[in-house]
């Protein structure tokens, strides 16, 4: 059972009345988790409640942190923004044109959307995608949606690859 603080439960009690969107709350004090709870519903139409273990898709809110972590590694001289992504992820195919970390950061990499590729392969949004699944489908692509550096195209693929580079170069998880 997750730790609970009655005062925090009281603050979020209004989310426990009826079927309504809610939230998950974690409180850390002196490095220790002292409260973990969910209140209300993650999906009101399907009646899916929120608890301390509910996984949320935070989508693109993590991109700013990914870019910042990459910039910190560049500042510290551990990589260059002009490195080819293949320097750090050699299992990617040898593209006709190099795709740089800078291009990935600015959504100019030209790489195909791994999400679209997975959906075309029969997966659904409801299925959880592993890092291995995503890297596998990206690695099978030999071509581009556009020439790298040529046109802006919002790219989850680029940021996924940047997260792998960060973890490999720093030997730490992106969450750390």
Taking residues 79-97, what's their average pLDDT? Answer: 93
Average pLDDT over residues 82-87: 96
CB 33 within 8 A of CB 26: yes
Average pLDDT of the chain to the nearest whole number: 91
Average pLDDT over residues 39-62: 89
CB neighbour class for 156 (10 Å; exposed up to 12, middle 13-18, buried from 19): middle
**Catalytically annotated residues:** 60, 63
When pLDDT is cut at 50, 70 and 90, the band that residue 28 belongs to is: very high
């Amino acid at each position: 059972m997750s730790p609970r603080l009655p005062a925090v439960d009281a603050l979020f009690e209004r989310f426990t009345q009826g079927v309504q969107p809610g939230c998950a709350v974690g409180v850390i004090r002196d490095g220790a988790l002292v409260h973990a709870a969910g209140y209300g519903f993650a999906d009101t139409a399907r009646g899916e409640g929120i608890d301390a273990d509910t996984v949320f898709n935070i989508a693109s809110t993590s991109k700013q942190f990914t870019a910042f972590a990459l910039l910190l590694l560049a500042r510290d001289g551990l990589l260059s923004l002009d490195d080819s992504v293949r320097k750090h992820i050699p299992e990617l195919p040898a593209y006709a044109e190099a795709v740089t970390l800078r291009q990935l950061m600015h959504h100019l990499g030209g790489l195909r959307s791994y999400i679209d590729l997975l959906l075309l392969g029969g997966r659904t949004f409801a299925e959880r995608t592993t890092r291995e699944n995503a890297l596998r489908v990206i690695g099978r692509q030999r071509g581009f949606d556009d020439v790298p550096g040529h046109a802006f195209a919002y790219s989850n693929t680029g940021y996924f690859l940047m997260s792998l580079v960060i973890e490999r170069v720093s030997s730490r998880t992106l969450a750390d």
